Each structure stands twice: as C-alpha cells, then as structure tokens.
C-alpha cells in the first residue's frame, strides 16, 4: 500500500517550499533516491530545513531529516 500525498499533507501540513513537480520528467537524486518533486519543511525557529519529502510522480520515495536520516522510505 502506498502512502498518498493527501495523507502526508494531513500528517505534516503544507510544505514551506516545493522543488520540481510530479509532472516534470526531469529527475534528481538526493539521499540515494531518485525524485522529481520535493517538499521542504523549515524549522519555524531556526528557518533551516528540518525535513524533506521526496516524490517520484505520485509515489512517495521517502521522508528524510535534513541530515539525511530516513524518517520513512519506500521499499524498492
């Protein structure tokens, strides 16, 4: 069972920033995972990146702390 975008949005709230798009054919690699859309969540106190959620099309690739620690990852 995959995790939906709606579920992630409800759990984490709206991202502070977004990079790319699920409809963008260009992919990037970060934390050893390929993605084409990244949701960025900033720490409200420090303004630094706290976590990111990576998507490949509509599939959740994973959620990672800013240091790369996996918070949740899809099984390949």
DSSP string for 2-66 = PPPHHHHHHHH-S-SEEEE-TT----EEETTEEESEEEEEE-TTT-SEEEEEEEETTEEEEEEET
Tell me whether residue 52 is exposed, middle or buried, using C-beta atoms within 10 angstroms of its C-beta: 0 to 12, 13 to 18, 19 or more: buried
Q: HSE (CB half, 13 Å, CA atoms) of 56?
A: 13
Please state the pTM of the whole predicted model: 0.90
pLDDT tens digit sequence for 28-52: 999 999 999 999 999 999 999 999 9
Categorize the per-residue pLDDT at 76 as very low, low, confident or very high, splitting at 50, 70 and 90.
low
User: Residues 59, 73: contact at Cβ < 8 Å?
Assistant: no
pLDDT digits (tens, 9 = 90+) for 47-71: 999 999 999 999 999 999 999 989 9
State the pLDDT at residue 22: 87
Domain ranges of the chain: 5-66
């Amino acid at each position: 069972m995959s995790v939906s975008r709606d579920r992630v949005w409800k759990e984490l709230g709206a991202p502070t920033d977004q990079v790319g798009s699920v409809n963008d054919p260009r992919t990037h690699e970060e934390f050893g995972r390929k993605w084409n859309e990244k949701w960025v969540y900033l720490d409200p106190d420090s303004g630094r990146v706290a976590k990111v959620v990576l998507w490949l099309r509509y599939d959740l690739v994973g959620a990672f702390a800013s240091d790369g620690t996996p918070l949740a990852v899809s099984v390949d």
